[in-house]
Chain A
Amino acid sequence: MFNFGIWTSELNNFLMGFLPEWATVLVECVIIALLVLLTYTVLALFYILYERKLCAWFQCRLGPMRVGKWGLLQVFADMFKILIKELISLKDTDRFLFKLAPYLIITSSVVMLACLPWGNGLQIINYNIGIFFILAVSSVGVLGILLAGWASNNKYTLIGAMRSGAQMISYEISLGLAIITIIVFAGTMNINELVWAQDKAWFIFRGHIPAIIAFLIYVVAATAETNRGPFDLPEAEHELTAGYHTEYSGIHFGFFYLAEYLNLFIVSGVASLMFLGGWMPLHIPGWDSFNNVMNYIPSVVWFLGKSFFVSYVIIWFKWTFPRVRIDQMLSFEWKYLMPLSLANLVLMAVFVALGWHF
């Protein structure tokens, strides 16, 4: 496997050659920040097109076709337009909170993006509590949505925000429990170690029954966490026009729009990290030549491929299922999903204690 760490350490050595240490760190930070922002934008745009094309195919349509070959430039046109749209500020609102909300949301998703393992050696921060950090930061996004709904001084946004608060806080429990199940299995929260622990085989295969249950719980909870159908109540178009971001225009709306898609990528990325081996190629114990062939595929491709696959499943949900109602959604979480994930956690602990895994 090619280790991207070679490039980064070479860059580090090169900078250290003529700069003091603090300046090296500064330059590196700037480079990383630029890279992250660039990746963020490109990925978000890609995801918007990805969803529009996919949903068109589910609906016997073609999707964007005219702007650029196969509609590839469509999202860039959208971006230019959103950038120059007028920013409307409203009377009788809390201006500061109103403007703060989109930045909170976008910041939380950028920080989460920075934590993901992109490839072998391609990782920005390697915490010993990496996955815990991602979970913690993801909660900041809820705050942004609540603020947006509250500060807009609009009944629709308020209802949307309250729904969103109830939903995200509830489903975070199942999401967290599903992740803890895997942490119990792996025995670490360090993202790098998590990936390397899947060198032999991915967790979903190694942990078999409890891991598969945890994966299913995770996918459902992640769908709810990202406010996507069938759990798209906070922005339920047909009930609340545009939900919590009804009053936002221009780039502020653009932030919500981008963050929505990026959050989809992030939950898919975490799913691939926790269950599908992160950037680790598909390895089957005993099949050495097969494993070698798999290693030739770059690790970045593996990571992106797995994430896109999980996103595909989540998008598929959205364009298939009707929306659930708020009481149904909450009772589903508290009556079924959370007890199930708790039981699954115990099951996993038993499996680990008795060594019933690969």
Chain B
Amino acid sequence: MEVKIKSMKHEDFKDNEYIDSLVEELNATGANVMVGKLDQLINWGISNSLWPLCFGTSCCAIEFMSLGAARYDMARFGFEVARNSPRQADYIMVQGTIVHRMAPVVRRLYEQLAEPKYVIACGGCAVSGGPFKNSYCVVPGVDQILPVDVYIPGCPPRPEAFFYGLMQLQRKIKVQKFFGGVNRKEKISEFFEKHPEEEGRIG
């Protein structure tokens, strides 16, 4: 099954095998027709109304501003309602290096987001630590502390790359299941498997 989003053709994306395998995995158990339709409606809503949490630490945040400005205008996709309160945002876009002092703050912000919530690691530093990977106080990639959905490489990524990453997130959302089946809870439990010490803390 193809995951369709309006803004870009399926074959224009580069990593379709990944999405296809995700669809296969999720559809393995099958779904009720009614529930399936409702799921589709909800996913349409979520994927088209992604409100970012403003969270820029360095250069990538300036490119994110460019993304909002007139030439690239992310409002076209409905992404422009940047919320400053994590309670009202849908995804946290980590733009820039995360250092030791910042790590607990990022974690807290992630925990404050209301479900369903997503994480985009944006720029070399957030993906892997980037040029500062060897430093004494840099977290080598935000995936050490958060479950990341989409990685956008670049230093900083071009605005087009931001769009590509956001559309990838839309595709991932399109295949998720809100009712029953395998859904995001799964991802969180996987995360706990990797970090058993966190289990009691977040719950």
A/B contact in complex, CB under 8 angstroms: yes
Is B87's CB under 8 angstroms from A77's CB? no
Of the residues B7, B80, B112, B178, contact of A84 by C-beta under 8 Å? B178
A52 to B77, CA, bound (A): 12
Is B49's CB under 8 angstroms from A85's CB? no
Is B85's CB under 8 angstroms from A85's CB? no
Tell whether A165 is near chain B: CB-to-CB under 8 Å. Answer: no
A56 to B85, CA, bound (A): 22
Give the residue name and chain of the B residue nearest to A74 (CB): B78
Of the residues B7, B46, B70, contact of A81 by C-beta under 8 Å? B46
Tell whether B73 is near chain A: CB-to-CB under 8 Å. Answer: yes
Residues of B within 8 A of A52 (CB): 75, 80
Is B70's CB under 8 angstroms from A59's CB? yes
Is A67's CB under 8 angstroms from B84's CB? no
Tell whether B155 is near chain A: CB-to-CB under 8 Å. Answer: no
- Indicate with 1 or 0, residue by residue over A223-246, a CB within 8 angstroms of chain B CB atoms: 000000000000001000110011
Is B42's CB under 8 angstroms from A84's CB? yes
Tell whether B20 is near chain A: CB-to-CB under 8 Å. Answer: no
Most B C-beta atoms less than 10 A away, residue of A81, A245, A249: A81
Residues of A within 8 A of B4 (CB): none
Give the residue name and chain of the B residue nearest to A87 (CB): B114
- Indicate with 1 or 0, residue by residue over B48-84, a CB within 8 angstroms of chain A CB atoms: 1100000000000000000000100101111011011
Residues of A within 8 A of B75 (CB): 52, 56, 61-64
Residues of A within 8 A of B70 (CB): 59-61
A110 to B70, CA, bound (A): 36
Is A74's CB under 8 angstroms from B49's CB? yes
Number of A-B residue pairs at CB separation under 8 A: 99
Contact of A253 with B45 at beta-carbon distance under 8 Å, contacts A64-B78, A67-B78 already known: no
A246 to B83, CA, bound (A): 10
Most A C-beta atoms less than 10 A away, residue of B44, B81, B87, B116: B87
A114 to B47, CA, bound (A): 34
Is A79's CB under 8 angstroms from B73's CB? no
Tell whether B115 is near chain A: CB-to-CB under 8 Å. Answer: yes
Tell whether B6 is near chain A: CB-to-CB under 8 Å. Answer: yes
A80 to B178, CA, bound (A): 12
Is B88's CB under 8 angstroms from A80's CB? no
Give the residue name and chain of the B residue nearest to A237 (CB): B84
Tell whether B41 is near chain A: CB-to-CB under 8 Å. Answer: yes
- The smallest C-beta distance from B57 to any residue of chain A, in angstroms, reads 17
Of the residues B46, B76, B114, contact of A88 by C-beta under 8 Å? B114
- The smallest C-beta distance from A233 to any residue of chain B, in angstroms, reads 15
Most B C-beta atoms less than 10 A away, residue of A80, A87, A237, A245: A80
- Indicate with 1 or 0, residue by residue over A24-60, a CB within 8 angstroms of chain B CB atoms: 0000000000000000000000000000100010011
A81 to B51, CA, bound (A): 10
A78 to B42, CA, bound (A): 10
A331 to B75, CA, bound (A): 37
A82 to B70, CA, bound (A): 27
Is A80's CB under 8 angstroms from B76's CB? no
- The smallest C-beta distance from A154 to any residue of chain B, in angstroms, reads 10
Contact of A79 with B114 at beta-carbon distance under 8 Å, contacts A241-B85, A249-B87 already known: no
- The smallest C-beta distance from A156 to any residue of chain B, in angstroms, reads 9
Residues of B within 8 A of A23 (CB): none
Give the residue name and chain of the A residue nearest to B89 (CB): A249
Is A77's CB under 8 angstroms from B76's CB? no
* Chain A residues at the B interface, C-beta cutoff of 8 Å: 52, 56, 59-67, 71, 73-74, 76-88, 237, 241-242, 245-250, 253
What are the nearest 9 A-B pairs in CB distance? A80-B45, A77-B48, A249-B87, A242-B85, A249-B114, A86-B115, A86-B114, A65-B76, A241-B84
Task: Name 4 extra pairs, CB < 8 A, besides A77-B49, A246-B85, A247-B87.
Answer: A78-B81, A85-B90, A87-B114, A248-B87
Some 25 contacts from A to B, beta carbons below 8 A apart, are A62-B73, A62-B75, A64-B76, A65-B77, A67-B6, A67-B48, A67-B77, A71-B76, A71-B78, A73-B48, A76-B45, A77-B46, A77-B49, A77-B78, A78-B81, A80-B41, A81-B45, A81-B90, A85-B90, A85-B116, A86-B114, A87-B114, A88-B87, A242-B88, A246-B87
